[in-house]
Structure 1
């Protein structure tokens, strides 16, 4: 549901007639007051990253509630792409999925992992660390010949890479709110100690 993945979904559907497929869930990712704040924060973070990457300024606003054509669960075939299987891989969010093609031994993992300085690491945020670790193991156990990342393309995902991710992945949730709370606490403590 983050801007870099779902931000253009409704626009693409309108332009091309594409269908929107998402993991089945009882509520929208950005629901409630917390969801509104998280949506705004994610838009801010997307703008920040785009600026850092030298991308031109664009309007990044998008509808925070995804209107899904097909809700899928673990093991389902991807609608209209029956040779691709849905694999639940939560952790980064509670509804992340990967898609696996057994015939070509290829799995697309979206943001389950990212590459930084030639190492695969956990993304930011990680809302569910225990689920995240299980998801990394689940993808590793597919023994796929090709592992595709959203922001990189194919990577080598061997035992060394898996162990590096698991060794460096957070053990507690690392989210926008936790980071903000920690930084605010630090600022308040430093202000208090100066008195």
Structure 2
């Protein structure tokens, strides 16, 4: 069989397999950790091309998918967990994730209904037009077609050792996702970051619903900044990301991300000096070439900066017909 993916050893006992995805972000990197328990970190999306690429990549390393003993998810997005159930069915692997990934991996009906209502209300408050809401819902339905119901056997906590890999520790690095985990090996100062830190793009701090209706919405951008600052204080020589090339000089990249973040906050301040605006109006001005294609991502970005300005007590908020209008 012709090799259809890029597979290589990137560090001692760590193999990277590049898996194609149908998403604009491009290929996703999954990682195979050699040891007493052969471990797969992330799986790729639920497509036949991704499945064949994963199988070929594992064979190139000298194993078969059935040899995988455990799977660790860095987070619950379909490009990272869509093939989990196929891997489980073939290998019987034990599965791990952050607890907040569970309802997404299970595709829990009650949580999915709650999530749909949460976003419909949120986008209405943001001033998103009805025709755009239809496009968002269609995009979300399409994304969910690249995953299927699966199961998590055990949850991972911040700073615990990875099961069967005492030299690896789990880090909770929320922001891009509420379930985002990273793995760190202190011996050679290596990190596997999922989508927390990516070299060529700034990770989008996606708005997600709280774990239950009685909780407040997580402040994703604030979490993302805090998680970046935590990693900036760590001794890391190389970061293997969920997408793209490895990250060297992580502190320089993190500083760049934080500075870019503040610049966008300042841009929003400037726009709000002119007149009051909804989150949707701000989004169309900040991302004129993007918002019509992938509205959920820029809406999350804009709303994250609104959260930051509200924490700084720099905004006034007015509500008219359940739509929120912001001004300085």
Q: Scaled by the length of structure 1, what TM-score is found?
A: 0.69
Q: 2:251 aligns with which of 159, 162, 185?
A: 159
| 2:110 counterpart of 1:12 | no
Work out the CA distance in 1 between the residues paired with 2:78 and 2:93. Answer: 18
For the residue of structure 2 that corresponds to 1:109, the secondary structure is: strand
Q: Which moved more, 1:103-112 or 1:31-40?
A: 31-40
Work out the CA distance in 1 between the residues paired with 2:199 and 2:141. Answer: 22
Where does residue 202 of structure 2 map in the other structure?
A: 121
| 2:164 counterpart of 1:84 | no
C-alpha change, 1:167 and 1:126, in structure 2 (3 Å) is farther
Gaps of 5+ in 2: 1-75, 120-136, 209-219, 269-278, 284-294, 303-328
C-alpha change, 1:86 and 1:164, in structure 2 (3 Å) is same
Where does residue 193 of structure 1 map in the other structure?
A: none
C-alpha change, 1:105 and 1:159, in structure 2 (3 Å) is closer
C-alpha change, 1:101 and 1:177, in structure 2 (3 Å) is closer
Q: 1:72 aligns with which of 125, 131, 156?
A: 156
Is the Cα contact below 8 Å between 1:70 and 1:79 reproduced in 2?
no
The Cα shift of 1:43 comes to: 5.8
C-alpha change, 1:107 and 1:61, in structure 2 (3 Å) is closer
Cα RMSD (Å): 3.4
| 2:132 counterpart of 1:132 | no
Q: 2:299 aligns with which of 165, 179, 184?
A: 179
Is the Cα contact below 8 Å between 1:77 and 1:85 reproduced in 2?
yes
Work out the CA distance in 2 between the residues paired with 1:26 and 1:123. Answer: 18
Q: Which moved more, 1:27-36 or 1:85-94?
A: 27-36
Work out the CA distance in 1 between the residues paired with 2:173 and 2:182. Answer: 6
Equivalenced residues, count: 164
Is the Cα contact below 8 Å between 2:190 and 2:239 reproduced in 1?
yes
Q: 1:33 aligns with which of 100, 107, 113?
A: 113
Where does residue 320 of structure 2 map in the other structure?
A: none
For the residue of structure 1 that corresponds to 2:257, the secondary structure is: helix
Work out the CA distance in 1 between the residues paired with 2:297 and 2:113. Answer: 13
The Cα shift of 1:45 comes to: 5.0
| 2:195 counterpart of 1:103 | no
Q: Which moved more, 1:135-144 or 1:155-164?
A: 155-164
Work out the CA distance in 2 between the residues paired with 1:93 and 1:77. Answer: 21
Work out the CA distance in 1 between the residues paired with 2:81 and 2:186. Answer: 26
The Cα shift of 1:162 comes to: 1.0
Work out the CA distance in 1 between the residues paired with 2:103 and 2:164. Answer: 24
For the residue of structure 2 that corresponds to 1:154, the secondary structure is: coil
The Cα shift of 1:97 comes to: 0.7
Work out the CA distance in 2 between the residues paired with 1:36 and 1:61. Answer: 17
Gaps of 5+ in 1: 47-58, 183-195
The Cα shift of 1:27 comes to: 6.2
